[in-house]
Structure 1
């Protein structure tokens, strides 16, 4: 069927499943048609999430041995980027779905990852996030022979309409962070529809309440556990790289919208002495600057994707130095896409003109989405890490944000 990837061959390692990119482009075109209206509405994009389930793209990062498409990470991230050009909220939850699948492999045992990834393909599971390590309200306690989690987690992107959740809690016995993979419909889990921010309005990034939620021992991801090895500490690199590709996609989509608007609707300015908007020297100057910044951010992001894939391929052999080199590449992309994206989503109005500020056009969504998302963690800390590396050769210390 059009728009589905059921017929894709798994291919060999690092062979891009080109059909997946075509499906992403088709999905992006469809999402663009309703993006402005859905941004205003907010809430859970149920129809669009089901479209992703049917598309087969939820299996994109799952190894072929578990029935997935076995795509390398640069391809998965390219799909995230292409979707983000039209709808960064859908791209966000799609990218985090694959981040949760990677978490199974990074924090858990090979058996856990294989079993849950295979079930994801078979049952078309959509994974949501309830990990947020900065929110320590959730606690893991022992109730007789059982383990239970009680508390709440904030910024739970994609939790609404998810089938499975990656949940973190503080173990009361050890005071350490523990991570588990649990079904979203398990008794005691309540996903609140309380996300009401100015951007990323359909990411369901609100609160998940946990009321004595049972966690089975085999659902805990403890081998090697959170950041338990250099390989396990690649998770924050993938998280940051996913966000960088969302940011880049937003910037690309914003520039494409600006180009269409300038070519078809921008009126010549009186001071341009009769030149059409497409030949106005100052408009051309701004487009040149935006294109150059975007091209630079794109190249850094692609380089970071290649660096991450190389680190991923090392598996448990990954050294701290190799992990550090990957983290520097990812931080470079994160800083570049943040700065470039904010400049383009604001500067696009200079080349479109005052009429583009019409509420009906919805052009402000690009800036609102990017501004909301780029505050996920302060980009100044990434620049500081880059400075420490540039001046003193110090690689970032692994944490959930570096």
Structure 2
């Protein structure tokens, strides 16, 4: 699909704009994000601040965040800043951005226009792909396509009204995407098994569909599009940005605690805070480099195959590096504050649990192995 050009509207979404929008979002939240249960107020704040619509092109009321060339860095800055406020909200917002990018890349103009209208009306999007032994089958019903099966770890289950689910047809090779109008369909949502160490507010439960009829125009793209590169692996840099925001929040909490307790002059604490600052800054540098590579590919109708391969390679390296950065920052934070930081209601306690859980993203070993294969095939590391 051809995305409208931002230049015609004069709208630019810069890293500074990202900080301003997220600051407005954070100020709109009048109470802490709940320990569990869907963060309704925070999602409403995303809408009020304009962040929910930011991934849409200017002609659709947004800023083209992540869709238009040159907008990957502000997208990652925005995701990082939302994650710094709360990781569960960051996870939900990242899924929303991912879904809109998939509709923009593989959907029709009419599908994207409807997605834009739904977003403006306050509907939040998501991508539900994880499944157990059985996923969702795409069947031929008497009046059109029918879905039957189950997905697991569906973020925002029971609350997200516009999720994209991946489905499998016996007649087609490759997964197909289907946009569910969840508020209009008889879906069975079950979050009872979602009792995690952290990220409880993401409400990532199971959803079951029993011969649920959907509209033919809710099928997005062609079979295999969902796993098409560079979007599939290259898009992983989005959740790495949210995770780095969680590490930044740990640094914030550590500094606040040390100042409040009068331990900010201790040389060992000073050294640990210095190490945390270096780690966080290196994570930001990784995101900038990944954004530069992605901007040579994402949002462009034609791109060089080598550039696409490099974007995937940078995304794999970035998510691997940021995982290690987050783990190291977390260790420094816990050492600095001590057991007091692991006792409720200290804010560090929840942030540690949330980040520990969120870092368990799928297939980290596969991402690192892909980095190794790429470097070995190329013959050098740079």
Q: Cα–Cα, structure 1 residues 135 and 65, in superposed 2: closer, same or farther, change >3 Å?
A: farther
Q: Cα–Cα, structure 1 residues 48 and 346, in superposed 2: closer, same or farther, change >3 Å?
A: same
Give per-residue Cα distances to partners, 1:77-100, cap 9 Å, x unaligned: 212211211211011101110110
Q: Which residue in 1 is equivalent to 2:314? A: 329
Asked whether the equivalents of residues 10 and 69 of structure 1 are also in contact (C-alpha less than 8 Å), the reply is: no
Q: Distance in 2 between matches of 1:257 and 1:202?
A: 20
Asked whether the equivalents of residues 130 and 153 of structure 1 are also in contact (C-alpha less than 8 Å), the reply is: yes
Q: Which residue in 2 is equivalent to 1:271? A: none
| TM-score normalised by the chain length of structure 1 | 0.84
Q: Cα–Cα, structure 1 residues 280 and 247, in superposed 2: closer, same or farther, change >3 Å?
A: same
Q: Distance in 2 between matches of 1:23 and 1:193?
A: 31
Runs of 4+ aligned residues of structure 1 deviating over 3 Å after TM superposition are: 9-15, 17-20, 29-33, 133-136, 227-230
Q: Distance in 1 between matches of 2:132 and 2:103?
A: 20
Corresponding residue to 1:351 among 333, 336, 351: 336
Corresponding residue to 1:64 among 58, 66, 69: 58
DSSP 3-state at the match of 1:208: strand
Asked whether the equivalents of residues 127 and 159 of structure 1 are also in contact (C-alpha less than 8 Å), the reply is: no
Asked whether the equivalents of residues 157 and 204 of structure 2 are also in contact (C-alpha less than 8 Å), the reply is: yes
Q: Which residue in 2 is equivalent to 1:287? A: 273
Pair 1:258-2:254 in alignment: yes
Q: Distance in 1 between matches of 2:379 and 2:31?
A: 46
Q: Distance in 2 between matches of 1:89 and 1:260?
A: 22
Q: Within 5 A, what are the aligned runs for 1:211-226?
A: 211-223=210-222, 226=225
Q: Within 5 A, what are the aligned runs for 1:3-402?
A: 12=10, 15-16=13-14, 18-28=16-26, 31=29, 34-35=32-33, 38-39=34-35, 42-71=36-65, 72-113=71-112, 115-132=113-130, 136-174=134-172, 176-194=174-192, 195-223=194-222, 226-227=225-226, 230=229, 233-238=230-235, 240-265=236-261, 277-315=263-301, 317-393=302-378
Structure 1: unaligned runs, 5 residues or longer: 1-8, 267-276, 396-402
Following superposition, the deviation at residue 29 of structure 1 comes to 5.0
Q: Cα–Cα, structure 1 residues 90 and 308, in superposed 2: closer, same or farther, change >3 Å?
A: same
Following superposition, the deviation at residue 20 of structure 1 comes to 4.9
Q: Which residue in 2 is equivalent to 1:398? A: none
Asked whether the equivalents of residues 96 and 158 of structure 1 are also in contact (C-alpha less than 8 Å), the reply is: no
Give per-residue Cα distances to partners, 1:266-307, cap 9 Å, x unaligned: 5xxxxxxxxxx3232222222222222221111001211222
Q: Distance in 2 between matches of 1:390 and 1:174?
A: 34
Asked whether the equivalents of residues 135 and 149 of structure 2 are also in contact (C-alpha less than 8 Å), the reply is: yes
| TM-score normalised by the chain length of structure 2 | 0.88
Following superposition, the deviation at residue 136 of structure 1 comes to 4.0
Q: Distance in 1 between matches of 2:120 and 2:283?
A: 37
Structure 2: unaligned runs, 5 residues or longer: 1-6, 66-70
Following superposition, the deviation at residue 25 of structure 1 comes to 1.6
